[in-house]
Structure 1
Amino acid sequence: MKIAFRTIVFTISFLLSNFPVLFSQEHKVNSNKELVFKGNHIIYKGKKIELGPNSFFIDGQLSNEESAKYKYVYNSITEASKHLTNGTEALPMTLYIAPWVYWIDNPDDPEIRVPKTIGGTPFGLEINCEWLRFQGLSDDAQNVVLACNRGQTIGAKGNFTMLNIKGQGVSAENITFGNYCNIDLIFPLNPKLNREKRSSAIVQGQLIFSNGDKVFARNTRFMSRLNLGPFWGSKRTLFDRCHFESTDDALNGTAVYLNCTFGIYSSKPFGHTSGTGAVFLNCDIQSFTREKQYFVKGSGPVAAIDTRFTAQNLDYIGWRDIPDTEARYYQYNISLNTKPVTVSNDIPNTTVDMTGKTILNAYRFEYNNTIVYNTYNLLRGNDDWDPMGIKAIVEKAEKETGKNYSSIPTQLMVKPVKQILETGKKGVTLETIVNRFGNYELKGEKVSWKIAPEYQSLVKLETKEDGKCTVIPTNNGNETKEVVITASTISGLEAASVFQIAPSFIAPPTFTTLPKISKNKDGKLQLNYALDMSFEDESVVNWYRCHDAKGTHPIEVAVSRLKKPLKTYELSSGDVGYYIMASVSPKHLRCQAGTAKTVVFKDVITKKDIKKSTILIPNLENMSAAYQPEILPGFWTLDSFAPADTNEHNWVGDNSKNPWYYGTGVNGAANDAGFIQASKGARMRYTPVGNSFGDMKISFTAVPAKTAGQGFSSARSQYMDVGIKMDIKKMNGYALRLIRTTKYSDAVDFIIMKYENGIATPISNSVTTSCYRPNCLISIEVKNNKLMVHAENKLDYFSETYPPEVVKIVNLEAEITPNDFGGISFQHTGTIDSGATLIKDLKLEWKS
């Protein structure tokens, strides 16, 4: 027993004396021995870091059994997140993360990620923690990777987002945050951890949501493509020496980017910015876009200072494709391939060049022959936040030069931004708001007001001691004119308000001859009336089909647009059996539209009144776009509808407003006019007059707002079906489907579908094409038992860069079962505005 006891005592003594040796290990992938784990602490670069409630060590190489032996030690971010405690600004909750690849969401789990709530966002991990810090234990941010590989429709329903962090003061250093849904994960330290991207099709794959203030990332890489999301939702945010790779709708619109690098793979990395916007300081942007590179898709301010673009195929840099007239953006020392450029140089009023202006000091100044990027001024807010530690330098420069470097505003706003004023009536008072960066209002800034000389006769400005300005309309002409009023500060800030200045309106003209409809011999009705005026007629004339001569149950079929009264109405087979009514609201350029007068043509329309034709070319400029749910021969039926094959995305058609509109589109469709979807699910159908129809053809030009060839905003069941040989009531027939898929981010698929009671199924192989860009010519034709599709684009759109399976010209056909139907339809399930498609040059042909 004595020997045994002595043995035990010796063993215990040996273990205790050698504890650090037995329970320490060098990090296995760290060849330079910078990181050593000692059980209750780590040594990194010779510095001892004690572990505790606010100091965790995470090492992906540890087994579950190994990590379980030690308190505050984990082998995954997800497990560590279960044990977090709130940190403080002085003592943040820090995750010391060893080099490894940490999957926040299991890439091998086949289950589709869905949001917790309808319409919400599916997250990989949600964290509630104040002052949380991600600290990578390597100078090379590529060595510490937080990863996921899911995106919209690829492993998730909704825009999958890796992290949702709620709390103030989140920070990161020496880390890579990557969504590897559409890019390959390459891990040089251990190639066994490499992983091929989940899909080549670029879908929304997001990184981090944050609702906090004082967000800071240093030497951090943010890797994805569409909708990157680096701390989206954060307030004051600084990225120092970070790297970003993305396509559109990607960057943080409330951040300062200092000494950062970017790989931009499409034309609009910001969806929008908000508040005082985003700032680039001494950044390098490599653009892989062709021809034109913009900063922002939507609205919001941007400032770029000492920023260098490099690109092979770029010839233009703009803030936005079509900036608002009142928008102002700020730049200094911008270059493209080392040559100086002015951003948006074809729209000069939008750019404020800060060269020689005091406003430049808000972003950068020179002190002791050194450039100081003034992050202190930008980020100090009201609590003196100074993440770069330059406050002392700024204060010293202020003391020595007598200049202000620490409270310089970066934004001047005017409200109202847009207004319509009528001469002879009360003016409008303009007010300004001056903000320091981060949306901190600064009172007392003196503001000057001016208008260009050419506007002097249209408005009078009355400035007040409080800095406000009253705009008094003085347009004595006949036409309404646009006037831009500019506000500025002595430092160089600018803002503008855009006014439509109308002359004094007079009463609408009266009818000297009441409206009357007559019939011409060429199959047209002619509206005649006379107004007591000397101006050009701009009356609003709309046409209706009615049940009787009293105008019962009117259905609008044609309308006036573009200030041109529609006085001639061309009869068609759809008018037979109806009475035709016209409504006239008298108007000219000096008045509002007056009370409408209606007149009904005395005779019901018969077959003898029309020109028989098997071709219909709708006059889209004058075709009614009003919600019209009735399915009647000769009528267009316009509504919004959610097809059954999109039900999984939980949406319904909105028929509270007109589903279509006629006008100019946006982005790629900004230079065209036609019929455009006004609501998601917009549907447009035509029922011809007759009981039996043979072969037929539809041809039209499609002008997608999307210009990269993807056609629709998402691969989330977003498509356009063009129906032919359709029974409109039962929705039986055939259709061409144009759909964005997960195969490519710059091409769509064409597929022939069969409709049976509203349910569409494919009856052909799919053809992937690059041609669905402005202006795409499409024809769909039925001959006997063949349905044939042809589509092409006269513009090349870099088709040589596509793989051979993506065709430039579509020729697709399928055998069908002939039917007697003759209806046509358009069904669009995508989002509207930047995801819409403009339809023009529509032609319908029925053949016997």
Structure 2
Amino acid sequence: MKAPLLLTMLAILPDIVLAGVNYNDHHLLLDQNLSNADAEASPYLFNQVQEALAAINRSQATPSDTITLDIAPGVYWVDDPDDPAIRRVSSNSEGTPYGFRLKCPNLRIVGQSDNPEDVVLACNRGQTQGAIGNFTMFYIDAHNIEASNVTFGNYCSVDLVYPRDPRLNRPRRANAIVQAQLIHTNANFVKASNCRFISRLNLCPFSGVRRALFSDCHFECTDDALEGAAIYQRCHFEFFSSKPFWGTPDFGAVFIDCKIDTHVRGTQYFCKTRGGINLIRTQIRQLDGEEIRVVPCYGTNDAPCYYSEVTLNGHPLKIEGATDITELPLLEAFTVDNLLHGPLPTHMRLSPVGQRTLNEDEDTRPLQIQFFCWNGQPAKRRIGSDAIISATMPSGLTAATRLHLTPQLDAAPGFARKPSLKIDRKKGIVHLDYQLNVDGNDMSHVTWYRFSMTDKSDTVAVRHGLTADASCYAISPADAGYRLMACVTPKLDITHTGTRVAVQTEAPIGRNIAAAKGEESSLTTDFHDVPIRFQPKLQAGCWTFDAFKPADTQTYNWLPQPHNAWFYGHGVDGAAGSIGLNEATKGARAFYTPARKSCKLMTAKLLIAPAKTAGQGFGSATGQYLDIGVKFDAKTLTGYALRIRRTPDYDRAVVMQLVRYQDGIVSPIGDEKVYSSYLTSCEITVMSDGKELSATASHNGDILTLSAPIQSSAADDSHCTFYMQHTGSTGASASLIERVELEWK
């Protein structure tokens, strides 16, 4: 322990003089070794971090004033780590639970040691670990912020090690890597020097700042962690996963004379989405000495990226998707002074005409444009296409913009022979026949509907597609007693879309025709021909699409959007390159009701492409799961399912468990099992034969099996519906359903 501090009160000014420093209402001291008597003797001295922060909020500083907080060595818990209460979103925190909200025009935080490990501002909460929401230590409302000689740490997923006094060490709250954040701010500028920023997922060192300069700082993080509008000078990074930025502005994050240590194998990306990444004289080291790819962004990126004198494991590195400016004049622009307030540009914007307003008083520079023609004569384009237009200055400065080019289309076609339907009773097929009034490649769209009411109030879309695929409709047992209607929207590949025309069968489909097909025994779909739209009706031979918030998710604040629950399209991130059924809202739910009255055995086999790339499947462990159900009664929500969910215990795996639904209440059957290969092209099989419920997960040879005995009744055999319920986040946390195969016996 250090010797007691001697305090001298000045007779004229209300300042406190301590070690030659005047402490006053604009200059405060936080020292956990101060006695209570010393701290209470002055309004400028504190031994509790919350009291010092509250004093900053109470200060009546003008917009030009700066409040300085000196912090003596010690570990200061901004949020009580021993408080068992769960931190939740307050009414004014815009969806994020904060440890402390600071408001000050201009703020300086200065650690009183040259070693930032000696001065620690700490918390240890994260999503599902002591908090509901992405717990963040600070929100700072300020114009300018400076920080030096301080460690900002969220020790939710990482141990606090304090070499100065090991008695203050503290183990992490949990082993799972969850969103555990440091600082959000709306500041115009942040300058941090000789600081440490410690967490893992969603580090957020002054996230939200317009521009930041980090000098001689240390960062430890996984994904979605770093501030994109920042210059990093002589900083050290330890990357535990492959995408430390969510994205960056077009002018990009800049690394100058930095060192990056990475645990990543394969490919080290910087951005999860798009953005500029600029690396100048930066050393990258794979900590196992392996050769890896270094790529600025995961996926397509049209933001410019530059590099110069970058090494990997001590050897010169060529960065894919970036421009080497070592021999170009542009390199001179990548200095801290120029990046902050110099005249040399490091970013050029290229905008399509019509998306930018030009001022006639501004300086302009004419461009010399040369056109190239690859075809002797223009041809009519049939489909639109994307193009990236780029421009390069002699200095090496580049810019690009993405354009979508659409063809010039002819007038919409009509019908030379109006649509009609013809039933082939022997084969059980309805044929759609028509003829357009112009020749060409027919791209007309057809949607088939089923209805029984004269006012068509019970109409349900059952199939759709282009004419080439959808001009014939195979009658199913579910069609008995219903009329069929085909709606045709005429179009050629080089024309606009015409007016839709509907045609229907003259009479309901006879039961003898439908019965000839027998009971429905199987279904296979990749959803390309399934109308994906809000459809709440439970009808045999139909998909039901809606959204629902189950009872076991009521703790979490979200609302389902049933009218926009699913869509058919391409996946993202880990599901990039896959196409199928995607969730569009939390709570997305789907049923398939077969055209049969009972079954002894039902099997569902799904091919799934999760967007998450580490095997965790879902955005967070906040009641997020996917249930795959068989032998279900959709009206009462009774049946059996496999539940795939993310838990707080694992950040690179999911937990799978067999469950029983009884009137919407879910209870487990058997034990949970951990599965770390819930990745793209994961095959999930769920089966119930009335005596046993079983499930299998398989991906690249990693197979997990679950089984449990069940006691079913005769009533259970009448339950034949397939069921899916997804309560996870969408987009980059979705589970794309590539294919569903169902079988009943």
TM-score (norm 2): 0.91
Write the letter of the residue equivalent to 1:533.
V
Whether contact under 8 Å (1:778, 1:789) holds in the other structure is yes
Structural RMSD (CA): 2.7
Say whether residues 1:99 and 2:99 are aligned partners. no
Q: How far does residue 731 in structure 1 lie from its aligned partner after superposition?
A: 0.8
- Three-state SS of the structure 2 residue aligned to 1:617 is strand
CA distance in 2: counterparts of 1:650 and 1:483, whole angstroms: 41
Against the structure 1 CA distance between its residues 503 and 207, is the aligned structure 2 distance closer, same or farther, given a 3 Å change threshold?
closer
Q: Which one of the candidate residues 325, 349, 353 is aligned to 2:324?
A: 353
Q: How far does residue 142 in structure 1 lie from its aligned partner after superposition?
A: 1.0
CA distance in 2: counterparts of 1:354 and 1:322, whole angstroms: 23
CA distance in 2: counterparts of 1:831 and 1:510, whole angstroms: 44
Against the structure 1 CA distance between its residues 487 and 168, is the aligned structure 2 distance closer, same or farther, given a 3 Å change threshold?
same
CA distance in 2: counterparts of 1:748 and 1:314, whole angstroms: 30
Q: How far does residue 525 in structure 1 lie from its aligned partner after superposition?
A: 2.5
CA distance in 2: counterparts of 1:552 and 1:651, whole angstroms: 32
- Tell me which residue corresponds to 2:307: 331
Say whether residues 1:635 and 2:539 are aligned partners. no
CA distance in 2: counterparts of 1:716 and 1:316, whole angstroms: 34
Write the letter of the residue equivalent to 1:826.
M
Against the structure 1 CA distance between its residues 449 and 210, is the aligned structure 2 distance closer, same or farther, given a 3 Å change threshold?
farther
CA distance in 2: counterparts of 1:446 and 1:627, whole angstroms: 53
Q: Which string of whole-angstrom CA distances, capped at 9 and with x for unpartnered residues, describes residues 125-156 of structure 1?
A: 11111221111111111111110000011101
Q: How far does residue 274 in structure 1 lie from its aligned partner after superposition?
A: 3.1
Q: How far does residue 660 in structure 1 lie from its aligned partner after superposition?
A: 1.4
Q: 59-68 or 765-774, which moves further after superposition?
A: 59-68
Q: 694-703 or 272-281, which moves further after superposition?
A: 272-281
Whether contact under 8 Å (2:452, 2:508) holds in the other structure is no
Q: How far does residue 480 in structure 1 lie from its aligned partner after superposition?
A: 4.1
Write the letter of the residue equivalent to 1:446.
R
Q: Which string of whole-angstrom CA distances, capped at 9 and with x for unpartnered residues, describes residues 394-435 of structure 1?
A: xxxxxxxxxxxx21222222334xxxxxxxxxxx5564899x
Q: How far does residue 51 in structure 1 lie from its aligned partner after superposition?
A: 2.0
Matches for 1:500-519 after TM superposition, within 5 Å: 500-519=404-423
- Three-state SS of the structure 1 residue aligned to 2:309 is strand
Q: Which string of whole-angstrom CA distances, capped at 9 and with x for unpartnered residues, describes residues 146-198 of structure 1?
A: 10000011101111000111112211111110000000000111111111100
- Tell me which residue corresponds to 1:56: 28
- Tell me which residue corresponds to 1:468: none
Q: Which string of whole-angstrom CA distances, capped at 9 and with x for unpartnered residues, describes residues 508-558 of structure 1?
A: 223232222233444332222222333221111111112268866431111
Say whether residues 1:446 and 2:338 are aligned partners. no
- Which consecutive unaligned segments of at least 5 residues does structure 2 have? 8-14
CA distance in 2: counterparts of 1:443 and 1:287, whole angstroms: 46
Whether contact under 8 Å (2:641, 2:659) holds in the other structure is yes
Q: Which one of the candidate residues 620, 641, 648 is aligned to 2:555?
A: 648
- Tell me which residue corresponds to 1:271: 246
Whether contact under 8 Å (2:380, 2:494) holds in the other structure is no
- Three-state SS of the structure 2 residue aligned to 1:377 is helix
Whether contact under 8 Å (1:450, 1:485) holds in the other structure is no
Write the letter of the residue equivalent to 2:722.
I
Q: How far does residue 503 in structure 1 lie from its aligned partner after superposition?
A: 3.9
CA distance in 2: counterparts of 1:356 and 1:727, whole angstroms: 69
Q: How far does residue 333 in structure 1 lie from its aligned partner after superposition?
A: 2.7
Matches for 1:542-581 after TM superposition, within 5 Å: 542-547=447-452, 553-560=458-465, 565-581=469-485
CA distance in 1: counterparts of 2:135 and 2:639, whole angstroms: 37
Against the structure 1 CA distance between its residues 342 and 569, is the aligned structure 2 distance closer, same or farther, given a 3 Å change threshold?
farther
- Tell me which residue corresponds to 1:676: 582
Write the letter of the residue equivalent to 1:320.
C
CA distance in 1: counterparts of 2:124 and 2:379, whole angstroms: 60
Q: 164-173 or 269-278, which moves further after superposition?
A: 269-278
- Tell me which residue corresponds to 1:362: 333
TM-score (norm 1): 0.80
- Three-state SS of the structure 2 residue aligned to 1:201 is coil
Q: Which one of the candidate residues 669, 683, 708 is aligned to 1:763?
A: 669
- Three-state SS of the structure 1 residue aligned to 2:255 is strand
- Tell me which residue corresponds to 2:638: 732
Identity %: 37
Q: How far does residue 738 in structure 1 lie from its aligned partner after superposition?
A: 0.6
Write the letter of the residue equivalent to 1:542.
T
- Tell me which residue corresponds to 1:320: 297
- Which consecutive unaligned segments of at least 5 residues does structure 1 have? 1-20, 26-38, 364-373, 381-405, 417-427, 435-441, 459-473, 796-807
Whether contact under 8 Å (2:64, 2:105) holds in the other structure is no
Whether contact under 8 Å (1:89, 1:169) holds in the other structure is no
Q: How far does residue 564 in structure 1 lie from its aligned partner after superposition?
A: 5.3
Matches for 1:519-534 after TM superposition, within 5 Å: 519-520=423-424, 521-534=426-439
Against the structure 1 CA distance between its residues 299 and 23, is the aligned structure 2 distance closer, same or farther, given a 3 Å change threshold?
closer
Q: Which string of whole-angstrom CA distances, capped at 9 and with x for unpartnered residues, describes residues 747-806 of structure 1?
A: 0000122212222232321111102111111101112221111112116xxxxxxxxxxx
- Three-state SS of the structure 2 residue aligned to 1:538 is coil
Write the letter of the residue equivalent to 1:594.
G
- Tell me which residue corresponds to 2:270: 295
Q: How far does residue 56 in structure 1 lie from its aligned partner after superposition?
A: 1.9
Write the letter of the residue equivalent to 1:712.
F
Matches for 1:33-182 after TM superposition, within 5 Å: 40-43=16-19, 48-84=20-56, 85=59, 92-117=66-91, 120-182=95-157
Q: How far does residue 336 in structure 1 lie from its aligned partner after superposition?
A: 2.2
Against the structure 1 CA distance between its residues 614 and 565, is the aligned structure 2 distance closer, same or farther, given a 3 Å change threshold?
closer
Say whether residues 1:377 and 2:341 are aligned partners. no
- Tell me which residue corresponds to 2:11: none
Whether contact under 8 Å (2:526, 2:738) holds in the other structure is no
CA distance in 2: counterparts of 1:223 and 1:448, whole angstroms: 48
Q: Which string of whole-angstrom CA distances, capped at 9 and with x for unpartnered residues, describes residues 179-231 of structure 1?
A: 00000000111111111100111111000011112211001111001111100
Q: How far does residue 590 in structure 1 lie from its aligned partner after superposition?
A: 0.7
CA distance in 1: counterparts of 2:685 and 2:535, whole angstroms: 26
- Tell me which residue corresponds to 1:620: 527
CA distance in 2: counterparts of 1:580 and 1:176, whole angstroms: 69
CA distance in 1: counterparts of 2:373 and 2:195, whole angstroms: 51
Whether contact under 8 Å (1:582, 1:599) holds in the other structure is yes
Write the letter of the residue equivalent to 1:761.
S
CA distance in 2: counterparts of 1:788 and 1:201, whole angstroms: 28
Say whether residues 1:841 and 2:706 are aligned partners. no
Q: How far does residue 453 in structure 1 lie from its aligned partner after superposition?
A: 4.3
Against the structure 1 CA distance between its residues 531 and 377, is the aligned structure 2 distance closer, same or farther, given a 3 Å change threshold?
same
Q: 192-201 or 59-68, which moves further after superposition?
A: 59-68
- Tell me which residue corresponds to 2:722: 824
Against the structure 1 CA distance between its residues 446 and 314, is the aligned structure 2 distance closer, same or farther, given a 3 Å change threshold?
farther
- Three-state SS of the structure 1 residue aligned to 2:585 is coil
Write the letter of the residue equivalent to 2:733.
G
Q: How far does residue 707 in structure 1 lie from its aligned partner after superposition?
A: 1.0
Q: Which string of whole-angstrom CA distances, capped at 9 and with x for unpartnered residues, describes residues 631-679 of structure 1?
A: 222221101222222122221111343x212222111111112111122
Against the structure 1 CA distance between its residues 513 and 90, is the aligned structure 2 distance closer, same or farther, given a 3 Å change threshold?
closer
- Tell me which residue corresponds to 1:408: 344
CA distance in 1: counterparts of 2:648 and 2:689, whole angstroms: 32
Whether contact under 8 Å (2:273, 2:298) holds in the other structure is no
- Tell me which residue corresponds to 2:10: none
Say whether residues 1:249 and 2:224 are aligned partners. yes
- Tell me which residue corresponds to 1:204: 179
Whether contact under 8 Å (1:524, 1:568) holds in the other structure is yes
- Tell me which residue corresponds to 1:224: 199
Say whether residues 1:494 and 2:398 are aligned partners. yes
Against the structure 1 CA distance between its residues 449 and 723, is the aligned structure 2 distance closer, same or farther, given a 3 Å change threshold?
farther
Q: Which string of whole-angstrom CA distances, capped at 9 and with x for unpartnered residues, describes residues 611-645 of structure 1?
A: 22411213521111111011222221101222222
CA distance in 1: counterparts of 2:61 and 2:94, whole angstroms: 32
Whether contact under 8 Å (1:654, 1:680) holds in the other structure is yes
CA distance in 2: counterparts of 1:113 and 1:181, whole angstroms: 13
